[in-house]
Structure formats: structure tokens, C-alpha cells
Amino acid sequence: AQTVTQSQPEMSVQEAETVTLSCTYDTSESDYYLFWYKQPPSRQMILVIRQEAYKQQNATENRFSVNFQKAAKSFSLKISDSQLGDAAMYFCASFNQGGKLIFGQGTELSVKP
Amino acid sequence: DTEVTQTPKHLVMGMTNKKSLKCEQHMGHRAMYWYKQKAKKPPELMFVYSYEKLSINESVPSRFSPECPNSSLLNLHLHALQPEDSALYLCASSQDQGTSGPRAGELFFGEGSRLTVL
């Protein structure tokens, strides 16, 4: 079975600072994909960043980067220079050969001005 | 056009009503999804359509009936719902349901339909 765990229900960061959101996952498959999705209060879920499991290099997307530790099955998201617009619920998700996108429980990020 | 459009945005219905949620995308995607989301919880997969055929049904009660009339449209027909079915219903689409490639697992979501069952 495929599981995704986010152990931080809530996080807070000061504007312009850096914050790291944690995620661990469990899968028996060798080929899979990991994602961070963002859901702002307006509700529309958008993709923040993706990582292919076969790639050793950590994905980056502007101020967003991941720390992918395959052996530890860890996939954390780092947000640098946090902005007020980064406030949202962040979901870690995995996608594997079953063709299902499975989400973690989410981390609600607040950004303080 | 990278939008997934869902209508209505809000729906209130009684337990004996029949209603439908609609979803539309014009990105040429061949996979479409329905998710159910409760407040402060992750989306839960309900159904997946691939090339207009139902490929995944996550043991959803029969009072929810999906339909994919064509590759751009996805409906969710609702009948005899319970108050616990009140939730945000999210539609999503992806290039296809493929499990490899540069777009694998990349879903585009609509804003959702907020359903309240009285």
C-alpha cells in the first residue's frame, strides 16, 4: 500500500524567512513520482513542484526546492524568502504504478508580515 | 487554456433531491478525476476516467454516479445523499492516466463545488 505522512498539521513563518515542510512516504515500488501541491484559501489546488524517484538531483522551482532522501523515504519542501501569498495548505502526494495520486494529511502554512 | 471549470460553485440539496455537478476542461487531457474533500483534510479519490471509460472507482456509494459524456466533460450525478456527504467536490484532469513520463501524476484541479446536504 502507498502511504504519505505529513507530521506537521500547522507551520508558521515570518515573511522573507525560510520554512521547511516535512513529508515521508512509503511505497514498495521502484518507479514513482512525488509532488507538493498548494491549496490557498480560495481552494484551487495547484502543483508546486514534482520529483521523479529515479532522479537523484533535487527539484527546484524558483523559491521552492525539495530535499529528496530516497533511502529514508523523505521528501521535504523548502520555501525560501516566504511571501504572504505562500499562505496555504500544502499537500505532499505520491503517484505510482497504480495511477492514483495519494495525498498526505496536509500542513497549513501561515506567513506573518 | 489551463483551466478546469466546475459548476455550480455552491449547491444545497435535500436528501431526496437529484442534482449534478459538472466539470469541463479544454486542455486535451484524457484522464479526469473526482475527489471529495472535507475541511482541513486531504482530497480523497472517488473516480477516475481514462479515455472516457471508468478506470477507478474507489468503492464509492451508488448514490454518487459519475458520467463522462466526452473527453472534455465530467459529471457527477447525486441522488439520495446523506448529510455526511456534505463536502467540497474537486474535479481534476491530467494528460492521461499514464504512470511514467514528464507529466505523470500532474493533475490540474478546478476550484471545486461546495455541496451541502440538508
DSSP assignment of B61-100 equals -TTEEEEEEETTEEEEEEES--GGG-EEEEEEEES-S-SS
Confidence of residue A30 (pLDDT cuts 50, 70, 90): confident
Q: Cβ of B38: how many Cβ atoms within 10 Å?
A: 12
- For residues A21-46, average pLDDT: 91
Lowest mean pLDDT among A26-40, A90-104, B91-105: B91-105
Helices (H) and strands (E) in chain B, counts: 0, 11
Asked if A50 lies within 8 A of B41 by C-beta distance, the reply is: no
Could you tell me which chain A residue has the CA closest to the CA of B89? A43
Judge whether B53 is closer than 8 Å to chain A, CB to CB: no
Asked if A43 lies within 8 A of B56 by C-beta distance, the reply is: no
Confidence of residue A43 (pLDDT cuts 50, 70, 90): confident
Asked if A101 lies within 8 A of B111 by C-beta distance, the reply is: no
Could you tell me which chain A residue has the CA closest to the CA of B5? A44
Q: How far off is chain A from B13, nearest CA to CA, in Å?
A: 21
Percent of chain B with pLDDT over 70: 98
pLDDT of residue B1: 55
Asked if B107 lies within 8 A of A105 by C-beta distance, the reply is: no
Judge whether B115 is closer than 8 Å to chain A, CB to CB: no
- For residues A62-69, average pLDDT: 96
Mean of the per-residue pLDDT values of chain B: 93
Contact A31, A96 (CB under 8 A): yes
pLDDT of residue B2: 61
Asked if B45 lies within 8 A of A91 by C-beta distance, the reply is: no
- For residues A66-82, average pLDDT: 96
pLDDT of residue A1: 73
Going by C-alpha positions, the residue among A24, A3, A12 that lies closest to residue A96 is: A3
Judge whether B99 is closer than 8 Å to chain A, CB to CB: yes
Asked if B99 lies within 8 A of A89 by C-beta distance, the reply is: no
Judge whether B48 is closer than 8 Å to chain A, CB to CB: yes
Asked if A93 lies within 8 A of B99 by C-beta distance, the reply is: no
C-alpha A58/C-alpha A41 separation (Å) is 28
